[in-house]
């Protein structure tokens, strides 16, 4: 089955294709989509749908999009839908600096990552949500992954996502939890 993966984030592409290798993934370049995908909504679910529906409406391709974010309890769910540009720029290092500064005075470091995948297949829209709970640590640890991985330690673990291999992160991450639901849906309906 062919599905266009509606993201240019190389890390997301690696995590998704690694977990669902049976799908024939088609890139945005392959469908000759050069535009920036719209994500102008105020929720992760709506942004996710917006990206996938943009591809369906303009390119008529079955597609999968991923919108994700980090929600920190003491910061009332921030950075949330603004995770990618929390500092005002799409710059992970500046985003982490701001997060650590804002969280410094709080004892409660609880956070969760959430992903909402949107699959548009044969014109029908389906969403799959995954989360992973954990905490934010005061300084960066590890070099793998992307975004906030170096300051996030999942519950029941002692290492950050950035200290884990792709396989280890994929066994428990928010994205992989959403992908597992997608996989069951595809198996039940399309394979
Ligand atoms: P978007 O889903 O492309 O809008 O971006 C969400 C932002 O959330 C990313 O730019 C990262 O900063 C952050 N994020 C999403 N998923 C992850 C993850 O798996 N690890 C670390 N940061 C993530």
Query: How far is Cα 169 from Cα 175, in angstroms, rounded to an integer?
Result: 9
CA max distance for the chain: 51
Q: What's the average model confidence in pLDDT over 69-84? A: 97
pLDDT recorded at residue 191: 75
Tokens 């409406």 — which residue?
Answer: 57
Tokens of 82: 């603004």
Average pLDDT over residues 22-42: 96
pLDDT in tens, 105-141: 999 999 999 999 999 999 999 999 999 999 999 999 9
pLDDT of 57 over the 90 cut: yes
Evaluate: CB of 154 within 6 angstroms of ligand 1. no
pLDDT band at residue 67, thresholds of 50, 70 and 90?
Answer: very high
The total domain count for the chain is: 1
What is the rounded average pLDDT of the residues 156-176?
96
Q: Select which of 29, 66, 67, 122 is catalytic.
A: 67
d(Cα 148, Cα 109) in Å, to the nearest integer? 14
CATH assignment of the domain containing 152: 3.90.950.10
Q: Are 131 and 154 in contact (CB under 8 A)?
A: no
Which stretches within 20-130 are classed as H helix?
Answer: 44-59, 92-103
| Per-residue confidence (pLDDT) for residue 35, from 0 to 100 | 94
Which residues, in sequence order, are CB contacts of 113 under 8 Å at separation 6+?
A: 68, 69, 70, 71, 131, 132, 134, 148, 152, 173, 174
On average, the pLDDT of the chain sits at 96
Would the pLDDT of 146 be above 90? yes
Q: Is 86 in the pocket of ligand 1 (CB under 6 A)?
A: no
The average pLDDT across 21-38 equals: 96
Domain of 97, in residue numbers: 2-189
Q: If you measure from the C-alpha of residue 119 to the centroid of ligand 1, how many angstroms do you get, rounded to a whole number?
A: 18
């Amino acid at each position: 089955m062919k599905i266009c993966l509606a993201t240019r984030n190389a890390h997301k592409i690696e995590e998704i294709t690694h977990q669902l290798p049976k799908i024939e993934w088609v890139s945005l370049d392959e469908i000759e989509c050069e535009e920036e995908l719209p994500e102008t909504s105020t929720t992760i679910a709506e942004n996710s749908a917006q990206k996938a529906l943009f591809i369906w409406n303009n390119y008529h391709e079955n597609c999968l999009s991923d919108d994700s974010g980090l929600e920190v309890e003491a910061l009332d769910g921030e950075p949330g839908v603004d995770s990618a540009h929390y500092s005002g720029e799409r710059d992970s290092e500046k985003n982490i600096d701001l997060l650590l500064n804002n969280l410094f005075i709080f004892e409660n470091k609880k956070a969760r990552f959430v992903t909402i995948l949107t699959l548009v297949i044969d014109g029908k829209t389906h969403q799959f949500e995954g989360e992973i709970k954990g905490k934010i640590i005061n300084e960066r640890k590890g070099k793998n992954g992307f975004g906030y991985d170096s300051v996030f330690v999942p519950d029941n673990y002692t290492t950050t996502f950035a200290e884990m291999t792709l396989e280890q992160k994929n066994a428990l991450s928010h994205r992989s939890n959403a992908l597992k639901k997608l996989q069951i849906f595809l198996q039940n309906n399309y394979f």
